Chains A and B, each alone.
Chain A
Amino acid sequence: MAQALMNYLDPGAIVLGVKAATDQDVIRILAGRLQSLGYVKPSFSGAVLAREAELPTGLPLGSDNNVAVPHTDPEHVLRPGLAFATLAEPVLFSNMENPDEKLRVSVVFLMALNDKDKQIEMLQEIAGTIQSPEIIAALIRSKSVEDVSRLLG
């Protein structure tokens, strides 16, 4: 089910045990990876931060292991890609459904998309993945890119 996710996820954009103080730190780290790997323009990071402030992407899973799926408009993207982080300590993201509510997020998928069909497929795969508490818990325990690839591939 999650197989298509590894098609998008560049091993160079998998960052485990990130020490970040804020949602913005995490977004900057992952956006930096996607930029250096040639997926996005320099404008991408700022655009994601601006969108997150206005339309937050935190998804509540009913625990400390909540997920966020930041993204932005296609004009900042060169080719579709996905970055992934697990956090050493949860950081606060606002809830997509209720921006006044802050969620402790441990897993972040940063989506770089400029193709509507791929965007939907990627989001569908992410939704399928996060609906399994076992996979989320295993992702958080992952120590290597190989661990993540095995779970998402």
Chain B
Amino acid sequence: MTKQKTVLFACGTGIATSTVVAHAVEDALKERGIRINSRQCKATEVAGHIDDVDLVVSTTQLPKDLGKPAITTLAFLTGIGKADVLDRIEALLRE
């Protein structure tokens, strides 16, 4: 068993939208046999929370050059392209 990875979920305020996305991603990854640690913050504050994070998933624009894999997506709100984004997340977490 590899070490459980940490995903930082970001949105405009770091509260509601990122929680909805975090729950959706946690549930979907669990079905794929992956458990994650979730954290949340504002998109503008991602750089200060990134040190021990493996992946950033945001619903809004992120600062550039974070030095970690980052995905900006609305798929977990709109349902559009959800399977594709999950594939990308899974691939990054299994690295």
Contact = CB atoms under 8 A, between A and B. Distances in A.
Contacts of A99: 61
Contact of B77 (A59, A71, A73, A98): A59
A57 B76 CA distance: 14
Contacts of B15: 116, 119
B20 A96 contact: no
A61 interface: yes
Nearest to B72: A97
B60 A130 contact: no
B74 A59 contact: yes
A98 B78 CA distance: 15
A96 B76 CA distance: 13
A120 B59 contact: no
Measured as residues with beta carbon below 8 angstroms from the partner, the interface class of chain B is 20 to 34
A62 B81 CA distance: 10
Binding site secondary structure of chain A: loop
Given A97-B73, A120-B16, A124-B20, 19 more contacts: A55-B12, A55-B60, A59-B78, A60-B78, A60-B80, A61-B80, A96-B12, A96-B60, A97-B59, A97-B61, A98-B72, A119-B16, A120-B19, A120-B23, A123-B20, A127-B20, A127-B24, A127-B77, A130-B78
25 contacts: A51-B12, A55-B60, A59-B77, A60-B74, A61-B78, A61-B80, A67-B78, A96-B17, A96-B60, A97-B72, A97-B73, A99-B61, A119-B16, A120-B19, A120-B23, A123-B16, A123-B77, A124-B23, A127-B24, A127-B76, A127-B77, A127-B78, A130-B77, A130-B78, A131-B79
Interface of A: 51, 55, 59-62, 67, 71, 73, 96-99, 113, 116, 119-120, 123-124, 127, 130-131
Interface of B: 12-13, 15-17, 19-20, 23-24, 59-61, 72-74, 76-80
